[in-house]
Structure 1
């Protein structure tokens, strides 16, 4: 699968390939990895504690809501998150209810980390059917983990209620506690689920023995990559629950992909070489450059996220790049060493003994190639039109964020509490708009805030030094478009009387996130496409092929988004996270190009010997099975996200899984092969392979007898 290289580079690659495949050096490689695991393993377990899951930490310092958050520290409110406790009796609140809720409020003040002097309530609703208590919680450095435990303690304290009086914890801290419960168990669930997917596919691909070696190698890579990411957090890298979850799935999926490709080439070479060490050295020499180029493509594409405004998006790039780098290193060193240590018996029951026939030459993908070769132009045009039709489904996808009440799959106490709250109180209760301005203009700013449509019950100004702090309650749900519009109106109104004023709060944070994501979409998408094309041009030494390959991956991404939109509708998901299109684009383009590299680097290798049309058929036959298995592994591991009880994770898993399957089964095997067969040698323009080869024998006719 290797790309063409100069003689010096070929010699260097050959020498490096013999390190993990050497008779003695294989043991050195294994020893180095074991030492690294023992030395770094303890740091991997600390990564979860280094997460930053507060939305405000995801934004750059230039965001207005971030600046408001920092100014609020002077007033002691910046690290306080309220849980809204709502009680409901549809037939009307009784005196016994009021006494019980009052007793609850007294107990809540005793809960550790509750800001007792700022607790508000019980507050009755105007219809007399509900009561609410606002309990501020000091987050401290523990973040979501503290909110989860404190809200749990508050729930435990509210134990003595009259029959028929319902009770729910909602608001910012209520939702944070729900998310905290999910993310507390997500790492283990993802780990075991991804491992199960990998084991099943490896068992189906290689039988009852070989599956263990790639899984052991992936386990080494995951632990060491988690330790490396933890070290990067000490240098300022932002890691949240999402990026850590992606790291787990990506190392399992991509790492196993690289393992499958290497093992496939090793098995091929075992049939040609009696010595397993020589077979591995040749396999690494031939397949290594393509695997390395694929991994580097993913890493560089992920690092393009560093230009994002969003700290959370910016952090995902290095996290994934570190994971891919460690997985790549493990698969090119540790796995080869393990394979040559255990010998050929690991392939039982189908031993690739020296001199046996390579079954891929007459397998299903060889037959698919010959079928495409009959009418390649008809095939690629029809396939492209079908994918384009599916891509139209992406047009109606709304990625403006997901309301808190729509963020969970299934039931949630916080969601039910929000519904109760909206029936009896202002929808924005517990999620105030925060305004910090010059104390000299306190009255004017207070008037501007109070007169803004969408704001009710503005607070009294609190003045400290030269600053004034005010809050306003939103009349609309805090995560609605109407609330976003209110934030824009508040900012316009208060900036008009005090240009230096800052408007913050949870709704303002989410609105600023949407603005930052829009910026990132405009910047990162062209950067990733440019990176991918440049790498392909260097690898294939051509211009036309990289342009076509990149176009096919973009088409595949749009089709995946369109098909996933229909799945979202069937699952009754309401909307999509603002960052979904960008993150899935980066992953699908980077990982989709991987499969094109695996295929086209082999086609390039064979085209130099047999011309392009024959090379395309040989390349598809040789790589078709392993690439399909690799795609199933990657799609399966990302599909694990679809089982998560959080809609954002489920949607991301669906899009990436659908996209990978489309790419490996349709785009890579059918569309790219048909394009290559139709265009022929010209696909390598302007390299030497695109020029007429006068001295060479005519390109053989493609036999259709198979």
Structure 2
């Protein structure tokens, strides 16, 4: 075979020989170019089929969803209010009211008479508001809110804000509209800088980045197909996370393959043979890692929330594209360019590397081997102290806390809250049977927390009401009022009253997130554990690997919760962020344990478990730490966006990955393995006792 001894490598050897072959490497590159050229037009259309309106995030079957569906039967039932807020410190003047009236006239000309509401002045005289009903379609909101803001511009101390549900939706659209491009560019810059630092070469960094680009195109095209053919929900936020996953995980896989390739270049003169052996040895761990991550992400399909369940196949497509590209296209390009790609630090055949006692990872391994039990107990206690920060988790973020900046809609909401019923900007909606009209209105108006309830329209046998709450939108008080409304209206016989609107939607979303966390979390753990048992042919090692990863996740969550609630003053961290952070850290964090333990098991063919662990740590320490830094840095890229939830997610995952690669994988897990010795493989045995052949070139 052209790649050395691939003929004796079985099916794994055959796969390794394809991208490392003298002629097949060119075929691999040609196939990838042809595929990406063919699918790129579809990838470019993903933004056109994104769902960034409320339905992309709503829990399926929720009461608020039913209300939205029933409202389609009403005239103008698909509209949402834009609330125009006027404010002057010291009180509005006569000229201010003339300007407001002129604004209303211009809005009637731009839209129509019946969509412009009456002016409502505050008791303090410092503020006035009126509503403008516009289409709830997000494309229309994106077109019409700029028109409204152009018309209603204040001057000479008169402040004007376009707020309400439509204003808030527009400000959110502006964030999600460019999220993919922003994250792609930021991720590429971060990864480029890190690869230049890691390899100290002006050339080699280009290859992983190029391959990641191919993987991103193929994943994006796959997702477009799933959206158009299978009805998958793809939101701008999820597609932005996809970019982070592909860049972070894809670069991690590239680092592992390149590190093993450089190692083998010192053992073999022929670049093709070196790559063949590198793939034979690194490939199984990457396949196991990719498979674990994919199956873990697919557990999100069990979620009720559409945006959460949609992230499962979206993330899985990204991981699949990343590891296929890294196991095929990356090796082919590296073999074509040859070892000179590493200039000026070109690995030479027969060259020796640092031996025992000279590597920092070897010194760490030697230190851990000296007193493994006290070390892992001490490190675990330190992590448990960090877990204590979870007492500061708090509640979900409020609407005002959603953005790191202060968009116009939130400024307007603040003025409304100071001068009117806080719920004026986002009325709750009730849809009920028309025959129960009076009962429904009286019951709603009498409910604690309701400021007023008024009829909005009729459609056949249905009637709708607007309900203004006296509490701030998306607050605990507003949610409690929604629950009281549902309970009280549910007692009316024959009314079939349903409660919807912005606050009800957020309550249903929060409930769905809590439910999803309870269902998805244990499922992910079970799936990952079973895969590890199959991979390592034992039970004890998987228990340690999963247990330490769970510990590092909760430690990261505790520290970040303290930082956001006690230092930055936010209300807390939502179940949505906690669930995604858990899934990412368990499925991605376990990868580093897989890379370490796969190498340790490989080393047991010639060494006892303690020595094998030290050698495995020495061999993988540098590359795994580098991979962790890359993955953590790419997740921090979400910090370029003004969304606090994404920032929280990025920091939790980044900090968790750093804990995983520096404390857990470097100290806690190796110490536990050394403490248990050969018992860690129970009920299996080390390779030297099991009779299995080891894939080691050492």
Q: Which residue of 1 aligns with 2:696?
A: none
Q: Which residue of 1 aligns with 2:30?
A: 31
**1:174-253 pair list within 5 angstroms:** 174-207=167-200, 208-234=202-228, 235-253=230-248
Query: Is contact 2:211–2:325 with CA below 8 Å preserved after alignment?
Result: yes
Report the Cα offset of residue 37 of structure 1: 1.4
Report the Cα offset of residue 385 of structure 1: 0.5
Flag the 1:294–1:76 CA change in 2: closer, same or farther, 3 A: farther
Return the alpha-carbon distance in structure 2 between the equivalents of residues 115 and 632 of structure 1.
Answer: 56
Q: Which residue of 1 aligns with 2:506?
A: 510
Report the Cα offset of residue 8 of structure 1: 12
Report the Cα offset of residue 642 of structure 1: 2.4
Return the alpha-carbon distance in structure 2 between the equivalents of residues 270 and 336 of structure 1.
Answer: 13
Query: Is contact 1:442–1:461 with CA below 8 Å preserved after alignment?
Result: no
Flag the 1:355–1:187 CA change in 2: closer, same or farther, 3 A: same
Q: 2:648 aligns with which of 640, 647, 651?
A: 651
Query: Is contact 1:80–1:136 with CA below 8 Å preserved after alignment?
Result: yes
Q: 2:396 aligns with which of 393, 397, 401?
A: 401
Query: Is contact 1:96–1:162 with CA below 8 Å preserved after alignment?
Result: no
Q: 2:250 aligns with which of 255, 277, 284?
A: 255
Report the Cα offset of residue 275 of structure 1: 0.8
**1:558-573 pair list within 5 angstroms:** 558-568=554-564, 569-573=566-570
Q: Which residue of 2 aligns with 1:423?
A: 418
Question: Is residue 673 from structure 1 mapped to residue 670 from structure 2 by the alignment?
Answer: yes
Q: Which residue of 2 aligns with 1:444?
A: 439
Report the Cα offset of residue 10 of structure 1: 5.2
CA-to-partner distance for each residue in 1:364-384, whole Å, 9 max, x for gaps? Answer: 111111111111111100000
**1:86-105 pair list within 5 angstroms:** 86-105=85-104
Q: 1:163 aligns with which of 156, 159, 177?
A: 156
Flag the 1:463–1:22 CA change in 2: closer, same or farther, 3 A: same
CA-to-partner distance for each residue in 1:15-39, whole Å, 9 max, x for gaps? Answer: 0111111111111111111111111
**1:12-411 pair list within 5 angstroms:** 12-111=11-110, 116-140=113-137, 143=138, 145-159=139-153, 161-207=154-200, 208-234=202-228, 235-359=230-354, 362-398=358-394, 400-411=395-406
Return the alpha-carbon distance in structure 2 between the equivalents of residues 266 and 531 of structure 1.
Answer: 31
TM-score normalised over the length of structure 2: 0.95
Tell me how many residue pairs correspond in the alignment: 681
CA-to-partner distance for each residue in 1:270-292, whole Å, 9 max, x for gaps? Answer: 11111111111111111101001
TM-score normalised over the length of structure 1: 0.94
**1:446-461 pair list within 5 angstroms:** 446-460=441-455
Flag the 1:445–1:8 CA change in 2: closer, same or farther, 3 A: farther
Query: Is contact 1:70–1:78 with CA below 8 Å preserved after alignment?
Result: no
Moved more, 586-595 or 569-578: 569-578
Moved more, 596-605 or 164-173: 164-173
Query: Is contact 1:82–1:136 with CA below 8 Å preserved after alignment?
Result: yes
**1:491-510 pair list within 5 angstroms:** 491-497=486-492, 498=494, 500-510=496-506
Q: Which residue of 2 aligns with 1:699?
A: none
Return the alpha-carbon distance in structure 1 between the equivalents of residues 172 and 215 of structure 2.
Answer: 28
Query: Is contact 1:304–1:527 with CA below 8 Å preserved after alignment?
Result: yes
Flag the 1:644–1:360 CA change in 2: closer, same or farther, 3 A: farther
Structure 1 unmatched runs, 5+: 1-6, 695-706
CA-to-partner distance for each residue in 1:490-509, whole Å, 9 max, x for gaps? Answer: 11111111462211111101
Query: Is contact 1:170–1:415 with CA below 8 Å preserved after alignment?
Result: yes
Query: Is contact 1:85–1:167 with CA below 8 Å preserved after alignment?
Result: yes
Return the alpha-carbon distance in structure 2 between the equivalents of residues 459 and 158 of structure 1.
Answer: 27
Report the Cα offset of residue 693 of structure 1: 8.6
Return the alpha-carbon distance in structure 2 between the equivalents of residues 579 and 315 of structure 1.
Answer: 13
Structure 2 unmatched runs, 5+: 1-5, 692-698
Query: Is contact 2:60–2:304 with CA below 8 Å preserved after alignment?
Result: no
Report the Cα offset of residue 293 of structure 1: 0.6
